Copies of this chain bind each other. A is one copy, B any other.
């Protein structure tokens, strides 16, 4: 079977807009603007640019729309009117992720000298404890709409668990591909939901190449790869981070927001979400600045930003922040655009700074972040110290995952090991 550029081998009739995809009306090319019907496609047939979801958003009174959202479920489905999902999505079997805590981080603010209000958007509260539940939830609804029966992805960790769990609850088969040398904990999380887990002898790049082959082959018929042929839908899930942050701030834009950069997709969708809220009149139109955060061991976007380049030169990742270790980030150029347009920046921190930031956040706010959260908190500290972030402005820092999944990154342990006696405790010098 011949395969068009970026189009799944599976012949699927495009769904009627307005039903399965709510306010979404088409896919549009981010490069040339060409529109194509909603379908399992991911690259423009004209210019091979990335496709994204285009909407006709509701022309509601902002006050009424706010009330409608506020009376919705405590999940991303409160924003169903702004997402490519059916209106009855909250009643379907899915993991209902999102509406995670926006933690007012006063202790951390004091340590960092922030006076304008510092918040941590803590996505470790999601069902499988990372922001991936948001994006996968949208991909699941698209998979249903396209009649896919198997949900799939390539992954090095968080995404594998999110896809396995979401497919299980949705009643879809899942088949997830991982490199063969993953940590045991991530393997268990990827396999426990009962889907097929396949280990590939090779690197993550080998896994990705294999998945691309599979999509174009009849073997892959009926398969929805959340981060390939469902990617335009999947990506929209990250908009909900922007929606939630603004609603939780009292329908107000943050002045500054610090976002981790792996492929860069999340940062671009947060920007898209903020612009939609402004366009709908849900928040006042004021300037906001978006900052990207990378680990120095995989910082191609930060490098390009600092060098003033528009092009991102791929690197070979070498960092403990494995969930951000994408050496050739697809959305890197868009991240550069957004950081420059909003007056933000892209910065990086060393692995030592990542660990110190994980410990700082845990010690001050009781939030145990995964390494990606260490990257954003570390970059926040670095940008404050450098005078790039303004401490007098409202600042939101994203924690997109859970420390329980990257335990090896921190070396926390007992202060003392003692016999069970008061004398031994006294001698240890810990009786405060």
Contact = CB atoms under 8 A, between A and B. Distances in A.
Contacts of A101: 96, 127
Given A188-B412, A404-B129, A405-B404, A201 B419 contact: yes
A192 B358 contact: yes
A67 interface: no
A412 B187 contact: yes
Copies per assembly: 2
A405 to B, nearest CB: 7
B125 A188 contact: no
Interface stretch (A214-222, A309-317, A329-337): A214-222
Interface string A186-207: 0111011110111111100011
B365 A169 contact: yes
A165 B366 contact: yes
A95 interface: yes
B362 A193 contact: yes
A201 B416 CA distance: 10
A128 interface: yes
A402 B124 CA distance: 12
Given A197-B413, A403-B192, A432-B173, A364 B168 contact: yes
Nearest to A222: B432
Interface in A365-387: 365-368
A405 B95 CA distance: 20
Nearest to A150: B432
Interface stretch (A177-185, A251-259, A292-300, A343-351): A177-185
Given A169-B107, A201-B419, A359 B432 contact: no
Contacts of A420: 200-202, 206-207, 209-210
Interface in A146-178: 149-150, 161, 164-169, 171, 173, 175, 178
Given A198-B414, A419-B201, A404 B404 contact: yes
A214 B425 contact: yes
A180 B107 CA distance: 31
A184 B421 contact: no
B412 A165 contact: no
Contact of A430 (B96, B167, B198, B210): B198
Contact of A125 (B125, B169, B362): B125
Contact of A414 (B161, B166, B187, B363): B187
Given A197-B413, A214-B422, A189 B368 contact: yes
B175 A418 contact: no
A309 to B, nearest CB: 32
Contacts of A223: 432
A428 interface: yes
A157 to B, nearest CB: 12
A350 to B, nearest CB: 19
Contacts of A199: 414, 416-418
Interface string A259-289: 0000000000000000000000000000000
A191 to B, nearest CB: 4
Contacts of A175: 430, 432
16 contacts: A164-B366, A168-B364, A169-B366, A178-B414, A188-B407, A188-B412, A189-B404, A192-B403, A193-B368, A194-B359, A198-B416, A198-B428, A200-B417, A214-B422, A217-B422, A219-B422
Interface of A: 74, 93, 95-96, 99, 101, 106-107, 125, 127-129, 149-150, 161, 164-169, 171, 173, 175, 178, 180, 184-185, 187-189, 191-194, 196-202, 206-207, 209-210, 213-214, 217, 219-220, 222-223, 358-359, 362-368, 402-405, 407, 410, 412-422, 425-426, 428, 430-432
Given A125-B125, A196-B415, A209-B420, 15 more contacts: A95-B366, A128-B368, A164-B366, A165-B362, A187-B412, A192-B410, A194-B362, A200-B417, A200-B420, A202-B420, A210-B422, A213-B422, A217-B422, A220-B431, A404-B405
Q: List 3 tightest A-B contacts by C-beta distance, closest first.
A: A194-B363, A165-B366, A191-B412
